[in-house]
């Protein structure tokens, strides 16, 4: 069974996080949410409080098949400023695992050097071509380029989550989960 880490930084985007957690768990993918601080209760960008499964410190060296970064502000900035996030991203990616980010969070992947030479998408104006010339930016809702998956924002969260289900499992599982959502 695939295992995914979703770090929750203060100010994360609720819709993206909850959508990812829910859809991946519907597909029988193990999701571990981790707070960046010692307090597992994390306040999202619109005041919603979620309780993470654990802290990042507790699982920082665990093996995951993928790490997924939700966007939102100031959540993305908080992820980007945490050196442990960059370390986990690089460690997992260098060991052949996948990384994913939605909304503003592809900026964290860019700062970690994981988008160089890749095609990616993000919330409009987060990554500017003049500032990131080694990244090919796309207007698509979801982009999969090798072991890097990116998406535009809250409005694309379901498609992003379903794409991750297909990536980690198969198209049959994706279709079954999508059908259960009555789309």
Q: Which residue has the tokens 């050097």?
A: 113
Catalytic-role residue among 31, 103, 110, 158: 103
Spatial neighbors of 176 by CB under 8 A, at least 6 apart, are: none
Paired with 148 in beta bridges are 99, 145
CA dihedral 166, 178, 67, 19 (to 10 degrees): 170
- Establish whether 103 is a catalytic residue: yes
C-alpha 147: how far from its chain's center? 12
Of 112, 116, 74, the closest CA to residue 92 belongs to 112
Residue (of 65, 81, 75) closest to 102 by Cα position: 75
Q: Give the separation between CA 73 and CA 50, rounded to whole angstroms.
A: 16
Tell me the catalytic residues. Answer: 103
């Amino acid at each position: 069974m695939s295992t995914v880490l979703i770090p929750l930084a203060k100010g994360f985007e609720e819709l993206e996080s909850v959508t990812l957690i829910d859809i991946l768990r519907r597909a029988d993918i193990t999701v571990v949410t981790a707070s960046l601080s010692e307090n597992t209760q994390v306040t999202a960008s619109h005041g919603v409080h979620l309780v993470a499964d654990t802290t990042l410190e507790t699982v920082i060296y665990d093996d995951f098949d993928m790490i997924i970064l939700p966007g939102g502000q100031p959540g993305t900035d908080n992820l980007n400023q945490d050196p442990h996030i960059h370390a986990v991203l690089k460690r997992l990616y260098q060991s052949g695992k996948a990384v994913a980010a939605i909304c503003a969070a592809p900026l964290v992947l860019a700062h970690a050097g994981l988008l160089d030479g890749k095609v990616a998408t993000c919330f409009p104006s987060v990554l500017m071509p003049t500032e990131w010339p080694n990244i090919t930016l796309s207007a698509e809702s979801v982009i999969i380029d090798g072991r890097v998956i990116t998406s535009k924002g809250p409005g694309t969260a379901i498609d992003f989550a379903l794409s991750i289900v297909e990536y980690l499992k198969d198209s049959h599982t994706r279709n079954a989960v999508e059908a259960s959502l009555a789309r």
